[in-house]
Structure 1
């Protein structure tokens, strides 16, 4: 055993080596460019603490912050026929699905759950934009139908969080058929006398906007969310005119009567509790009696000795 190489050298290296900060401790806001400590972003529901920009949030993190104590039960969604058209562009459709599943850890682009918010039982479903842009395929159609059937069976209101780039091109006409299918599912809720509340998040576009995303009894949007059928650039190129400032953003649609509210994500839970209880004919919730949501899990656990956020990484030099 070489005492110098096996003990002395590693000991010296551990004392004098520079301790670097992991890159994923910091998140850069796309809107204002501020470097944000990961724990602050997580505790603020992925909303920038400097400018209020709403970043992407996964359905599971959204549900943990929405339901009492972060406790909810997943609703099983029937699996559709995989790759019914044997579609291939640059990649095979099954390969794209497997890549999205590996990246997100989810089976598909929508999660359905049931639980309580403010001791009020609901059924909720949320789209994951990071899964193939939250595109509406047969699974998403099955998920909305399963959510509506669960809501009717349990006599609960349905809350849907939309986030999608539109229909899924790899499923062709079968994807477009989800528009009438989901419309029938929404009609089931109306016939049962149950509220259907839609929360439109950034972005909600295409066939999703043209179907279930705009059929709610109440429409709420997160700030500055893009909500449209065709995108602003497509419209500008078609009509050859400059569009108004903020066109198709949540605040613009609110001013023109297409939305009921624009509510920040950090205030959304309390607003949903108020609306759901009002539509279900329940007495208003007592603020001090509401059970809190669960804290969002941190991707990285802070080190015991590091109580404050470390210094942000230096800005890259130009040139």
Structure 2
């Protein structure tokens, strides 16, 4: 691909300017300038495909500037089982932290949206696929508890492959733990706005992610417990087109609405107007 290479000014050496400058859309496969895609919140300007956006980028997009305080950033996972596959769990945590630039798979804190105080949380998918282990479950539980204590709406962005297998039953019990805290929030009539990103699957989808007072999804998001390939293999049938995608769930009454990423802040603002007044 000659257009991705450029001769060095001296010595004729070639250097690649490749995918640091250009990226290929995962939807339409068009080659895009990386800067243009980043400026458009990782949404393809040609076909509208929503690429992954980091938890920190989401925070900056949704919350008012200057109003952020991160919570529980010091929590760290423990290898209670001494789990080893091709690597030890401790090694995988270290590698994931280096790759994602954060120590765990969930970002939580206090902020504001349109001047209203909120509790905000977002999964970090680059950290072990946004898997929910004991630390993630604890951070989410504390976030719900802060929302209850302060009577502040909770906004949670889910993007996860599910429970973290390296923690075994400890990861599975986070499903009950987080939902229990959420039920206390619900009983106090404190709003919970759940935003479902691509993908929202496994134990996260089967616990709190679809229990929002308002469940909002991004276009095309994969939402469900098991993936479609696993289901087709198990039942030996072909699934309907678009099965488990946001549009399919909306049509069948499992979510409340779909919002494009550029309009998500305004959508959440209107939801807060409705629930809080």
TM bucket (normalised to shorter chain) is over 0.9
Q: Matched residues in 1 for 2:11 and 2:97: separation?
A: 42
Give the alignment's TM-score, normalised by structure 1: 0.81
Q: Matched residues in 1 for 2:113 and 2:15: separation?
A: 42
Distance verdict in 2 for CA 1:237–1:73, change over 3 Å? same
Aligned equivalent of 1:62: 58
CA displacement at 1:55 relative to structure 2 = 0.6
Q: Matched residues in 1 for 2:77 and 2:230: separation?
A: 33
Within the alignment, does 1:126 sit opposite 2:122 as a pair?
Answer: yes
Distance verdict in 2 for CA 1:78–1:183, change over 3 Å? farther
The structure showing larger relative contact order (alpha-carbon pairs under 8 Å, at least 6 residues apart) is 1
Aligned equivalent of 2:24: 28
Within the alignment, does 1:117 sit opposite 2:113 as a pair?
Answer: yes
Structure 1 window deviating more from structure 2 (75-84 vs 223-232): it is 75-84
Q: Structure 2: give runs of 5+ residues left out of the alignment.
A: 1-7
The alignment partner of 2:60 has SS state of helix
The question of whether the paired residues in 2 share the 8 Å contact of 1:64 and 1:70 is answered with: no
The residue correspondences of 1:194-233 to structure 2 (distance < 5 A) are 194-233=190-229
The alignment partner of 2:249 has SS state of helix
The question of whether the paired residues in 2 share the 8 Å contact of 1:75 and 1:146 is answered with: no
The alignment partner of 2:64 has SS state of coil
Within the alignment, does 1:185 sit opposite 2:181 as a pair?
Answer: yes
Report the structure, 1 or 2, having the larger strand content.
2
The question of whether the paired residues in 2 share the 8 Å contact of 1:46 and 1:55 is answered with: yes
Within the alignment, does 1:164 sit opposite 2:160 as a pair?
Answer: yes
Q: Matched residues in 2 for 1:120 and 1:71: separation?
A: 10
Runs of 4+ in 1 over 3 A off after TM superposition: 13-21
> Equivalent of 1:237, from 233, 238, 246?
233
The question of whether the paired residues in 1 share the 8 Å contact of 2:77 and 2:135 is answered with: no
> Equivalent of 2:92, from 77, 96, 104?
96
Q: Matched residues in 2 for 1:277 and 1:66: separation?
A: 15
Q: Matched residues in 2 for 1:211 and 1:201: separation?
A: 15
CA displacement at 1:70 relative to structure 2 = 6.3
CA displacement at 1:225 relative to structure 2 = 0.4
Aligned equivalent of 2:246: 250
Aligned equivalent of 2:274: 278
Give the alignment's TM-score, normalised by structure 2: 0.92
Distance verdict in 2 for CA 1:64–1:179, change over 3 Å? same
